[in-house]
Amino acid sequence: MKQLCLMVFSALIAQATMAKVIVVEGKYQNKNLYIQNGYSSSGVGFCTYEIIVNGEVSTDEINSTSFEIDLAQFQLKYGEKVVVEIKHKDDCSPRILNPEALKPKASFETTSLTLAQNGLLSWNTVNEAGSLPFIVEQFKWNKWIPVGEVQGLGTPAENRYSFQTELHSGENKFRVKQIGYGALPKYSKTVSIVSNETPLTFSTSRNSEDLLFSGETMFEVYDVYGQIIKKGFGKSINIGNIKKGHYFLCYDNSVTEFKKK
């Protein structure tokens, strides 16, 4: 009997040594995981022998060439963190057919979006399905331009965010967006305010080496083919290293042209 117990104990140690674990993490999206299982290389038994979800053993039937991990049985809330451990034999490896099922999509809803006269953009959201960055965009020069990011909390309850923007003269428009799995963006509504800032002007230095602004501003310089060659923020742009010719200049709330002599 003692020898038999020793043999069983040795077999259990050997099995534990040969075991491997595939771990997949994400946020619950009201979807299940599908596993391609198969047999072990010895032909005896199936590859996967245990599934653990957030520390609890799954009761799903896994003795099959393919099976489904029913995440709903764990009473998960939408957007809740999920850690799935797929324990399998060392001589084979199951495959997760839809790992994207745990990747968050942009699902937020904006309950408020305000812009103060000092440029502070504030917004509240609900129904976030995962932690994704909010990209702050400003409409200027006839296009939406990203001006900053705020990391989303990723929880479905109401979340509050803010970002300090730089206002230009005239009307300012802002929005926020998220890009989740599949690169499909979701946008908030647009908020706008009219700034009391004095419109900026620009001039060319005497040696034609610099463009000088009457105040600090974001700027972009394009050639006649629409290729951007300069961008940044400041009170001047060095143009000494660009070729002679015509260029387009975007600054403050204006789009204009200049000639490099």
Chunked in runs of 10, what are the mean pLDDT values of the chain (261 residues)? 41 51 91 90 85 94 93 89 94 91 90 96 93 95 95 93 96 96 87 94 91 95 94 94 94 94 84
Alpha-carbon gap, residue 247 to 152, rounded angstroms: 39
> Six-digit token pair at 235?
């009170």
- Candidates 137, 14, 15, 129; CA nearest to 77 is 129
Alpha-carbon gap, residue 84 to 55, rounded angstroms: 8
Judge residue 103's burial from the number of C-beta atoms within 10 Å of its C-beta, 0-12 exposed, 13-18 middle, 19 or more buried.
Answer: middle
Per-residue confidence (pLDDT) for residue 155, from 0 to 100: 87
List of domains in the chain: 2-102 (2.60.120), 109-195 (2.60.40.10), 202-260 (2.60.40.3080)
Alpha-carbon gap, residue 236 to 234, rounded angstroms: 6
In one-letter notation, the amino acid at residue 214 is: S
Is the dihedral angle over the CA atoms 126, 127, 133, 136 positive or is it negative?
A: negative
Per-residue confidence (pLDDT) for residue 45, from 0 to 100: 84
> Six-digit token pair at 21?
């674990």
Per-residue confidence (pLDDT) for residue 173, from 0 to 100: 98
Question: What is each CA distance from 110 to 8, 88, 176, 255, in whole angstroms?
Answer: 60, 43, 9, 32
Contact present, 170 and 191 (Cβ < 8 Å): no
3-state SS assignment for residue 23: strand
Q: 181-219 as b/e, with b when 16 or more CB fall inside 10 Å? A: beeeebebeebebebebeebebeeeeeeeebebeeebbb
Per-residue confidence (pLDDT) for residue 183, from 0 to 100: 67
Contact present, 232 and 223 (Cβ < 8 Å): no
Task: Specify the pTM.
Answer: 0.73
Contact present, 98 and 34 (Cβ < 8 Å): yes
